[in-house]
Amino acid sequence: MYDVYMKINTPLASPSEGGEYVLPQEPPVLKVSRSIQVPTDTTGMKITLFQYQTCPFCCKVRAFLDYYGFSYNVIEVNSVTRAQTRWTDYRKVPFLLVKLPNSETILQLKDSTMIISVLQSYLDNKSEGLTDLVKCYPTMHYTDEEGEKRVEIMNRYFLMYGQHPPGRTKEDIVDERKWRKWVDDVYVHVLSPNVYRTPSEAFQAFQWFSKVGKWEEHFATWERLLVVYVGAAAMYFIGKNLKRRHQLKDDVRQSFYEETNVFLKALKKKGTQFLGGEKPNLADLAIYGVLTAVEGCDAFQDVKKNTRVSQWFESMGEAVRQHRGAHLITEKANVA
């Protein structure tokens, strides 16, 4: 294990270990909720994202895909029935199905952080294909102290380069990985207790989720109402439990403001537009992604009023919508 970055010319997993990402057969044909087509995407990969529209981890993956200009289809999963994932043993979202060009191979990429790391590695490394890169992220199956079966994806915060990272210092790489872990381990956990702070806020959140996810188009009326009413009630109580588990302040808004200011202070100290400098890095995309999950809720309006996150958030939104990282796809295609 390298303390800064991983070199793909060092064996990390056997081909058989990497094979667990390969689907043994084609998945069923499912209704596509929407299709994002970017003319500059010349990878030839057919990508399908299985998601909940307002899941922070799903939003994080979409921010990455949109920034780099990947074309992809979206399958909206019903969060109560989860009917769209019954065909696979992996029921969590997000996950990606990636059909490789000129091949019948379909990869199932699991876990938002791993998805981002392997696709970023694919873009950064001009000579390696996705099938080889997934072998660098083997999974470990184990049973925890309470008897629950767990799966851990190894190296999921690491990017796989060749001999040297392209134009990046060791400090940049370590800093990016630190903030990516902070998003997953700390920041995302202040969202639910804030969004579902009161019964009325929980109901408001699910009404917004329904609107932005276009649930009336994708689900039967009874399914949509079940998710809105049952989901809002359940998440109100779950939010209370999460508040205690993650030791948030009695006024959970204060925890939201404080954690937002943690990264804003780091940004101010850096003196650049983004944590990545003059352009966003994976940490910027992760923070932006999870915030978009709640931008239609009172909690997000309050955090904009009580912190200075708005300017950074608007700059990130513009960069993502304009696919400003799309040149990496073009460079990858030119080399291939």
Do 239 and 93 share a structural domain?
no
Q: Are residues 158 and 204 in the same domain?
A: no
Query: Residue 302: how many CB atoms within 10 A of its CB?
Result: 14
Residue 332 lies in a domain: no
Q: Which two tokens stand for residue 79?
A: 């969060």
Catalytic (active site) residue 59: no
* Consecutive H or E run containing 153: strand 149-153
Instruction: Give the count of domains, the chain.
Output: 2
Yes or no: say if 80 and 227 are a contact pair by the CB < 8 Å rule: yes
Q: What is the pTM of this model?
A: 0.89
Asked whether residue 230 falls in the same domain as residue 109, the answer is no
CATH code of 241's domain: 1.20.1050.10
Same domain, 250 and 308: yes
Check if 297 is active-site: no
For 158, 207, 253, the CA distances from 178, given in Å and listed in that order, are 11, 34, 24
What CATH number corresponds to the domain at position 148?
Answer: 3.40.30.10
The answer to whether residues 90 and 15 belong to one domain is yes
2, 5, 50, 52: which is the annotated catalytic residue?
52
Q: Is there a catalytic annotation at residue 21?
A: no
> In this structure, is residue 317 part of a structural domain?
yes
Q: Are residues 208 and 133 in the same domain?
A: no
Would you say residue 330 lies in a domain?
no
Residue among 57, 67, 196, 313 flagged as catalytic: 57
Query: How long a stretch of residues is the chain?
Result: 336
Range of the domain at 203: 188-321
Compute the distance between CA of residue 39 and CA of residue 31 in angstroms, rounded to an integer. 23
In the annotation, is 52 catalytic? yes
Please check whether residue 242 lies inside any domain of the structure.
yes
Of 167, 196, 218, at which residue does a domain stop?
A: 167
Looking at per-residue pLDDT, the higher value among 20 and 291 belongs to: 291
Residue 335 pLDDT grade (very low, low, confident, very high; cuts 50, 70, 90) = low
55, 59, 136, 297: which one is catalytic? 55
**Domain termination residue (choose one: 167, 198, 223):** 167
Q: Is residue 180 part of a domain?
A: no
- Domain identity same for 284 and 201: yes
In a domain, 328, yes or no: no
Statement to judge: residues 20 and 157 lie in one domain? yes
Torsion, Cα 61 67 68 69, to 10 degrees, reads 100
Tell whether 157 and 193 lie within a shared domain.
no
Q: Can you tell me the distance from the alpha carbon of 33 to that of 95, in angstroms, rounded to the nearest whole number?
A: 15
The model's confidence at residue 144, banded by pLDDT at 50, 70 and 90, is: confident
Q: Is 100 within the bounds of a domain?
A: yes
**Side chain identity at 260, as an amino acid letter?**
T
- Is the confidence at residue 20, as pLDDT, over 60? yes
Considering the domain architecture, whether residues 121 and 228 belong to the same structural domain is answered as: no
- Structural tokens at position 203: 């109901």
- Contact between 5 and 121 (Cβ < 8 Å): no
Identify the pLDDT of residue 124: 87
49-67 residue pLDDT tens: 999 888 999 999 999 999 9
DSSP string, 254-313: HHHHHHHHHHHHHHHHHTSSBTTBSS--HHHHHHHHHHHTTTTSHHHHHHHHHSSHHHHH
Give the span between the Cα atoms of 310 and 323, in whole angstroms: 20
Domain final residue pick, 132, 167, 202: 167
Say yes or no: 98 and 196 in one domain.
no
Catalytic pick among 21, 50, 58, 297: 58
Whether residue 223 is contained in a domain is answered as: yes
Whether 101 and 193 map to the same domain: the answer is: no
Would the pLDDT of 329 be above 60?
Answer: yes
> Residues 80-133: pLDDT tens digits?
788 899 999 888 999 999 999 988 899 999 999 999 999 999 998 877 889 999
Mean pLDDT of 18-29: 85
